[in-house]
């Protein structure tokens, strides 16, 4: 899972990470996703959450690339029998 958004500063970016962590916990709790990585099998407690800048100036500019990445990740999940 990932979150993408524009953040004015590091504090705002860290708030996005906390929202993502909360959503991951909810999604695991509902049984929608497994509590381990489908690729490396790491348990959820060992998952890394990172904040970083992209090459994009805005979310509108990033959206086509994000959508393509989403399609590619879906294909990998299907290949590994996860989706």
Distance linking the first and last C-alpha atoms of the chain: 14
Cβ 66 vs Cβ 73: under 8 Å: no
Sequence-distant (6+) residues with CB within 8 A of 34 are 28, 82
Residue of 28 and 54 predicted with greater confidence: 28
Backbone angles phi and psi of 43, in degrees to 5 = -70, 155
Taking only the tens place, the pLDDT of each residue in 31-71 is: 998 999 877 899 999 999 988 888 999 899 999 999 999 99
């Amino acid at each position: 899972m990932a979150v993408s958004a524009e953040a004015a500063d590091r504090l705002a970016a860290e708030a996005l990470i906390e929202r993502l962590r909360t959503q991951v916990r909810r999604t695991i709790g509902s049984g929608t996703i497994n509590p381990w990585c489908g690729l490396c099998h790491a348990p959820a407690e060992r998952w890394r959450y990172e904040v970083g800048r992209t090459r994009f100036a805005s979310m509108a500019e990033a959206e086509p690339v994000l959508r393509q990445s989403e399609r590619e990740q879906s294909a990998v999940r299907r290949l590994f029998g996860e989706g």
